[in-house]
Amino acid sequence: MAIKRIGVEKRVCRKRVCKEIVSKKRVCKETVCKKRVCKPVKKRNSAFRAVSGIDQQLHDRTTAKVLYQVEELDLNNEYNSANSTFRPRQNGVYALFASVFFETITVTSFTLDLEIRVNGVPRISDQEDFNNVSGIIDAGGIVQLRARDRVEVFATVFDKNVIIQSGVNTRFEGARIS
C-alpha cells in the first residue's frame, strides 16, 4: 500500500473497506477464497425393459432363472441381456416388475411361484394357483437398491411341467423412482 496523505481515506481491499488514518496504517489481510459453486450432481435416468425371446421349459419342483434376452429399453446401460440381469449404477429406490406367460398341455391344478431376487435373496414374489392350460403370473414392487446389486427373476412350478412362452407377456422391467 502507498503512504497516505494527511486525512482519512477509504480504500477497497479485496472486497473489504479499510480506513487509513494519519500516520497509522491499517492493512487488510484477508484470505479471499473463491466461492465454490456446488452444482447438484445430475443423476442419469435409469430404466430398462426386456422381453423373452425363446420358449423355456420349467420342470416340476425346479427353480429356474427366467431369461429375458430381447432388450427393448435400457437408458443407462444397466441391463445385461446375455444373462438377464439388471445391475443398477446408482443407489436409489427402484420400481421393478416381472411377468411370465406360460402354457401346459393338460388341464390340472398347479402352483406357480415368481420371484425377483436381489443378490440371490427374494425381495418381490407372487405365488398363484392355476387350473387352466395357460395364464400369466406377475410380480412387482418397490425396493431399495445399491449400486451394482444383482437383480434377477426366478420361477418355480409345483405339480406340473410348464412352458414359459416368449413374447411381450413374458417381460422384466424397472425404473429408478428416487
Would you state the pLDDT for residue 35? 57
- R_g (Cα) of the chain, nearest Å: 32
CA distances from 39 to 33, 43, 45, 147 (A): 18, 12, 18, 22
Would you state the pLDDT for residue 13? 47
Question: How many whole angstroms separate alpha carbon 93 and alpha carbon 23?
Answer: 67
Question: How many whole angstroms separate alpha carbon 52 and alpha carbon 57?
Answer: 13
CATH 2.60.120.40 domain span(s) along the chain: 47-176
Per CATH, is 47-176 categorized as 2.60.120.40?
yes
Would you state the pLDDT for residue 107? 87
Structure-block grid coordinates of residue 42 = 445430475
Ranges in the chain, pLDDT < 50 = 12-15, 17-18, 20-24
